[in-house]
Amino acid sequence: MRLLINKLVLILSTLAALLGIGFLFWILITLSIKGISAINLHIFTADLVDNGLRNLLFGQFVLALIAVVIGVPIGMIAGIYLQEYSYNSKYAQFIRNLSDVMMSAPSIVIGTFVYAIVVNPIGHVSGWAGAIALAIMMIPIVVRTTDDMLGLVPTELREAGVAIGAPKYKVIFNIIIKAAKVGIMTGILLAFARIIGETAPLLFTSGNSEFWTTDLNNEFPSLTVAIYNLATMPNEELVNIAWAGAFLLTMFVLIINLLGRFITKEKTK
Amino acid sequence: MESLFKRLSWISATTILLILTSIFVVLFLYAKPAIAEYGLKFLVDSRWGVEVSQPTKPQVSPSTKSSATKATPTTTPKDDNIAVNDEDIAVSDEDIAVNDEDIATDENVAVNDEDIAVSDEDIASQVPSSADEAITADDDIDIDETSKHTKVIYGGLVPIVGTILTTILAMFFAVPIAMGIAIFLSEIAPQSIAKPVGIAIELLAAIPSIIYGMWGLFYFGPLVASVFGGSSVSLLVASLVLAIMIIPFMASLTRDSMNTTPNVLKESAYAMGATKFEVIKDVVFPYAKKGIIGSMILALGRALGETMAVAFVIGGVFTFPKSLTDPTVSIPVVLANSFAESNGISLNVLFYLALILFIISFAVISFAKFYFLRDKK
Amino acid sequence: MIMHIKDFSFTYKGASKPSLKNINLPILENKVTALIGPSGCGKSTLLRSMNRIHDLYPGNKYEGEILLKNLQNQKMENILEIKKENDFIALRQRVGMIFQKPTPFPMSIYDNIAYGLKLQGIKDKTELDKRVEDALKGSALFKEVKDRLNDDARGLSGGQQQRLCIARAVALKPEVLLFDEPTSALDPISTSAIEELIVELKEEVSIAIVTHNMQQASRISDYTAFMYLGDLIEYDKTETIFLNPKQQMTEDYITGKFG
């Protein structure tokens, strides 16, 4: 009887695993089939207004990149505070928890927040608003990564730096961060991959533009928002463009993730 | 220099506190008119954008008018008597009931009922004489004399229930499968299989949620509809897509905490003649219990606030689902669909909803954090 | 006498009782002074007070005096009175420290040694080169690494890394070097290389070393202090401590009756 139950449970969990994995591969396969068949040179050379993706790919990348430029310094320095300057005070513990909560905050709420503080006062959507929304999403991830990675650096290294007569901020920048560099870089890379696939915070902050633009003060092209809009259109051709965009986005995110994994592996070797 | 940097780092850390508090404050401020208008009754009111007549004319009139004037968009054509702006659209209970079936069977249903009202001349013409508060104050007075007083009621019950239902159902589907995957990966599969499959699962957790939504709309929804009947956008489809989206996340977190069980512990249980299932049930689960529950709550939090995976497949209709295969709506989807076209009180209502969502997810995540923290001690 | 610890007590942040009580200990010039005792006796705490590395973590309490001789005017100055960041930096360059585990900085071998020199303000490339080379020669590492000075220091073996850390400290020309169980993470061959190095180094600097290993203390030190539960039980010449201790407790520890 015991053995029977054992067998049953093992079979069930294997089946559950197969079911789950099956679904997940189904997604990837349909995405690849639809996506690859819709990809052609035209998509990379034309803007959305001419049924291409050029401006969207560029726009999404720029938004995420600006978010990195805004979010990484704040997140990193905050992470440095938590690990190096707070001596695990109650306040630091509080901020640490708060940052984790913020990491799980619904992304659409971040979007409404940025709408309220940026879009509404200005009166229209803008690239900056989108980038700010993504930066807010990014900050807690960077804080967590920096905090964790600096925590892995042995205390002796800090003491050795100080023992040689370096001021603390120099120890942090010349020694500690260098020692944790690979981990932090990987974390930032993964955070980048995460926010570049975000849609909800961009819906009413950056909006979407059909045209090629570099003007962040106006509505800005966003691949994910465009996918959302296009996919629900009754026009087959536009839906196919959405599939192509979805495929490219997924591939980009997966490649970055694999890259991050590879870097970590190389380092731990 | 040293103290300067110390100060700077403290400021950066405090920015996080600042952002979170300002999210609360800003959402609250923007939601305030709606909170003042509808109060906590909003939480239990299932009417959305419903026009009701005002029994006591003089008392209510000023308050509605003031909110209406604030909301008045300058773009509203003055000579147009037919409602164009979303918040003036008043669809009576009857109309919703009448159109319910049409909406439910409509394939491109990812529009809210205000939009339907606008695009659908029939509905609009059914209520052409309804008082339009949003039409400028001068017009307001004219209409005041000719027609009865009305007020648009917004209630958040349908999206709130929709959010909770999709989340609970998604958890119901996801937990067994995620547990199965985690057990498979950490206890059953040989290293040579567990490793690549584990990586694949982690990669799938990284796929943007919009991809899951799109796949649900084009492939999974129709399949579910053909098996269970009903529409290809429904509560059931939304929950399943959501479940599939959170499975990789939950499975990899659960596997990680199951892997923390020391081998010695497992081996000593095996040494006593326990079967694999008994080892998992009596050694691994109790040992990793807090981590597993924590990962479930984190997945729950993710499901609660998920927008894109749900937006494609839930239907966006403001009705309670009578069965699993009926479309309904959730808070993030209301926000995603209606935000851009809203202003005035209807926008305040959306902020009210966002605030509710934020508070719910904040509470859920804080609970999970608390759980994890106790675990560490 | 280069350092003199007088009536020194030390209390960790939040602790109700002091970890060190009324310690009196001289550190003699160009001699090796060993601190021995069972774990938790406070020997590392004492060592870490001598360059105030404890001050990395706020809230610890010092009492008494730790005097350090100023080589310019031969006066003894109390290092516990230091408050300014710059004075801390100067102190730590005068009193170097070597840790249990090797702590190579994440940079090249050359930069590891040049880093402290650059902090001192030395910019001239030829002087840097010379000081680096001297330091490496001084710690018997030069031959092994002269062809790969620009390689990452973390690629060296454990023993080499530890000698690099010693070279790094020596390059600053400190007056005192503090060793906190420098060989506890190393194999026997590396250990004996480090021990030889310490004996050679005392020509130039005064040395205090914390060790678990009594044989090591007897091999390399001139003076030995035995500590127990935050008290300094006995201090004398190393031979006296090991062959003819005055306190019963010291004898018991040396002969392995407890510890």
> What pLDDT, on a 0 to 100 scale, did the predictor assign at position C259?
62
Does an H or E element contain C35, and which? strand C32-36
> What pLDDT, on a 0 to 100 scale, did the predictor assign at position C224?
94
Residue listed under structure tokens 């005792």: C37
Share of chain A above pLDDT 70, in %: 99
pTM of the model: 0.80
| pLDDT over 60 at B361, yes or no | yes
Cα separation of the two ends of chain B: 37
Closest chain A residue to the Cα of B342, Cα to Cα: A204
How far apart are alpha carbons B117 and A263 in whole angstroms? 54
Phi then psi dihedrals of residue B229, to 5 deg: 80, -175
How far apart are alpha carbons B35 and A140 in whole angstroms? 30
Choose from A112, A223, A241, A247 for mutation: most chain B CBs within 10 A.
Answer: A112
Range of weakest confidence among A2-16, B108-122, C243-257: B108-122
Q: Chain C contacts of A160, Cβ < 8 Å? A: 97, 99, 103, 105, 165
Q: What is the mean pLDDT of residues A260-265?
A: 86
For residue B208, give the nearest of A109, A140, A249 by CB distance. Answer: A249
> What pLDDT, on a 0 to 100 scale, did the predictor assign at position B277?
85
| Subunit contact A165:C92, Cβ cutoff 8 A | yes
| Subunit contact A231:B214, Cβ cutoff 8 A | yes
Q: Chain A contacts of B175, Cβ < 8 Å? A: none
Range of weakest confidence among A225-239, A243-257, B20-34, B77-91: B77-91
How far apart are alpha carbons B82 and B88 in whole angstroms? 9
Beta bridge partners of B52: B151
How far apart are alpha carbons C67 and A171 in whole angstroms? 27
Query: What is Dmax (Cα atoms) for chain C?
Result: 57
Range of weakest confidence among A120-124, B206-210, B370-374, C115-119: B370-374
Mean per-residue pLDDT of chain A: 89
What contacts C26, CB < 8 A, 6 or more positions away?
Answer: C1, C3, C4, C5
> What pLDDT, on a 0 to 100 scale, did the predictor assign at position A75?
94
| Subunit contact A165:C120, Cβ cutoff 8 A | yes
Q: Residues 186 to 245 of C: which have CB under 8 A from any A CB? A: none
Closest chain B residue to the Cα of A9, Cα to Cα: B277
What is residue C132's DSSP assignment? Answer: H
For residue C119, give the nearest of A166, A168, A181 by CB distance. Answer: A166
Split at pLDDT 50, 70, 90, the class of B230 is confident
As for the ipTM of the complex, it is 0.90
For residue C92, give the nearest of A156, A164, A174 by CB distance. Answer: A164
Cross-sheet strand order for the sheet of C231-237: C95-98, C176-180, C206-210, C32-36, C223-228, C231-237
Residue listed under structure tokens 């004219």: B142
Q: Chain C contacts of A162, Cβ < 8 Å? A: 53, 56, 92
The closest of A259, A93, A94 to A186, measured between CA atoms, is A259
Mean per-residue pLDDT of chain B: 74
pLDDT winner (highest mean) among A137-141, B93-97, B308-312, C196-200: A137-141
| Subunit contact B6:A258, Cβ cutoff 8 A | no
Q: Chain A contacts of C59, Cβ < 8 Å? A: 87
CA distance B54 to chain A (A): 31
Alpha helices in chain C (DSSP H): 43-49, 85-94, 109-119, 125-138, 142-145, 158-171, 188-201, 214-220, 238-243, 248-254
| pLDDT over 90 at B192, yes or no | no
How far apart are alpha carbons A139 and A114 in whole angstroms? 14
For residue B17, give the nearest of A9, A75, A98 by CB distance. Answer: A98
Q: Chain C contacts of A161, Cβ < 8 Å? A: 105
> What pLDDT, on a 0 to 100 scale, did the predictor assign at position B148?
53
Higher pLDDT, C224 or A266: C224
One-letter identity of residue A248:
L
CA distance A102 to chain B (A): 7
| pLDDT over 70 at B116, yes or no | no
* Model pLDDT for residues C98-124, shown as the tens digit of each residue: 998 888 998 999 999 999 898 888 889
Alpha helices in chain B (DSSP H): 2-38, 57-71, 93-105, 113-119, 121-126, 137-146, 157-183, 191-205, 209-215, 221-228, 235-259, 263-271, 276-279, 285-305, 308-311, 331-338, 345-376
Q: Is the Cβ of A259 closer than 8 Å to some Cβ of chain C?
A: no
One-letter identity of residue A230:
L
What is the bridge-based pairing of β-strands C3-11 and B48-53?
Answer: unpaired
Choose from C91, C119, C161 for mutation: most chain A CBs within 10 A.
Answer: C119
Structure token digits, residue C114: 């040049």
* Model pLDDT for residues C161-195, shown as the tens digit of each residue: 999 999 999 898 899 999 999 988 888 888 998 99
Q: Chain A contacts of B19, Cβ < 8 Å? A: 102, 136, 139
> What pLDDT, on a 0 to 100 scale, did the predictor assign at position B156?
81
* Model pLDDT for residues B236-274, shown as the tens digit of each residue: 999 999 999 999 999 999 999 998 888 888 888 888 888
> What pLDDT, on a 0 to 100 scale, did the predictor assign at position B373?
56
State the burial class of residue C14 (Cβ atoms within 10 Å of its Cβ: 0-12, 13-18, 19+): exposed
* Model pLDDT for residues C46-100, shown as the tens digit of each residue: 999 998 988 888 888 999 999 998 888 888 889 888 888 888 888 988 999 999 8
| Subunit contact B184:A106, Cβ cutoff 8 A | no
How far apart are alpha carbons C228 and C190 in whole angstroms? 29
Neighbour subunits, B (≥3 Cβ pairs < 8 A): A
| pLDDT over 90 at A77, yes or no | yes
Split at pLDDT 50, 70, 90, the class of B374 is low
For residue C56, give the nearest of A154, A158, A174 by CB distance. Answer: A158
Range of weakest confidence among A224-228, B229-233, C18-22: B229-233
How far apart are alpha carbons B31 and A216 in whole angstroms? 28
∠C45-C46-C50 over CA atoms, to 5°?
A: 115
The domain defined by A42-268 folds into MetI-like fold (1.10.3720)
CA distance A238 to chain B (A): 13
Contacts within 8 Å (CB) and 24+ apart, C184-192: C184/C100, C184/C212, C184/C213, C185/C100, C185/C101, C185/C102, C185/C158, C186/C158, C186/C159, C186/C162, C187/C158, C187/C159, C189/C159, C190/C157, C190/C158, C190/C159, C190/C160, C190/C162, C191/C159, C191/C216
Neighbour subunits, C (≥3 Cβ pairs < 8 A): A
Q: Chain B contacts of A123, Cβ < 8 Å? A: none
Choose from C53, C97, C105 for mutation: most chain A CBs within 10 A.
Answer: C105
> What pLDDT, on a 0 to 100 scale, did the predictor assign at position B152?
76
What is residue C259's DSSP assignment? Answer: -
* Model pLDDT for residues B66-75, shown as the tens digit of each residue: 443 333 343 3
> What pLDDT, on a 0 to 100 scale, did the predictor assign at position B274?
83
DSSP assignment of B305-359 equals H--HHHHTTSB---S--SSTTS-B--HHHHHHHHGGG--THHHHHHHHHHHHHHH
> What pLDDT, on a 0 to 100 scale, did the predictor assign at position A224?
93
CA distance C179 to chain A (A): 12
CA distance A78 to chain C (A): 19
Is the four-CA dihedral C102, C103, C107, C109 of positive or negative sign? negative
> What pLDDT, on a 0 to 100 scale, did the predictor assign at position C141?
87
For residue B305, give the nearest of A21, A106, A253 by CB distance. Answer: A106
Q: What is the mean pLDDT of residues C219-239?
A: 92
For residue C97, give the nearest of A163, A174, A175 by CB distance. Answer: A163
Q: Is the Cβ of A7 closer than 8 Å to some Cβ of chain C?
A: no
| pLDDT over 50 at B131, yes or no | no
Q: Residues 74 to 133 of C: which have CB under 8 A from any A CB? A: 85, 89-90, 92-93, 96-97, 99-101, 103, 105-107, 115-116, 119-120
Neighbour subunits, A (≥3 Cβ pairs < 8 A): B, C
Split at pLDDT 50, 70, 90, the class of A63 is very high
Q: What is the mean pLDDT of residues C143-165?
A: 90
Q: Chain A contacts of C53, Cβ < 8 Å? A: 159, 162-163
CA distance A262 to chain C (A): 21
User: Residue ranges of the domains in chain A?
Assistant: 1-38, 42-268
| Subunit contact A104:B365, Cβ cutoff 8 A | yes
> What pLDDT, on a 0 to 100 scale, did the predictor assign at position B90?
39
Q: Chain C contacts of A167, Cβ < 8 Å? A: 85, 89
3-class SS letters over chain A: CHHHHHHHHHHHHHHHHHHHHHHHHHHHHHHHHHHHHHCCHHHHHCCHHHCCCHHHHHHHHHHHHHHHHHHHHHHHHHHHHHHHHCCCCHHHHHHHHHHHHHHCCCHHHHHHHHHHHHHHHHCCCCHHHHHHHHHHHHHHHHHHHHHHHHHHCCHHHHHHHHHCCCCHHHHHHHHHHHHCHHHHHHHHHHHHHHHHCCCCCCCCCCCCCCCCCCCCCCCCCCHHHHHHHHHCCCCHHHHHHHHHHHHHHHHHHHHHHHHHHHHHHHHHC
Q: CB–CB of A226/A57 below 8 Å?
A: no
Go through the domains of chain C in sequence order and give each one's CATH number: 3-254 (3.40.50.300)
Q: What is the mean pLDDT of residues B350-377?
A: 80
| Subunit contact C120:A159, Cβ cutoff 8 A | no
pLDDT winner (highest mean) among A122-136, B133-147, B226-240, B315-329: A122-136
Q: Chain A contacts of C49, Cβ < 8 Å? A: none
> What pLDDT, on a 0 to 100 scale, did the predictor assign at position A269?
54
The closest of B301, B212, B186, B205 to A261, measured between CA atoms, is B205
CA distance C48 to chain A (A): 10
| pLDDT over 80 at C239, yes or no | yes
What is residue C108's DSSP assignment? Answer: B
Q: Is the Cβ of A179 closer than 8 Å to some Cβ of chain C?
A: yes
CATH of range B26-54+154-376; options 1.10.3720.10, 3.30.390.10, 3.40.720.10, 1.10.10.10 = 1.10.3720.10
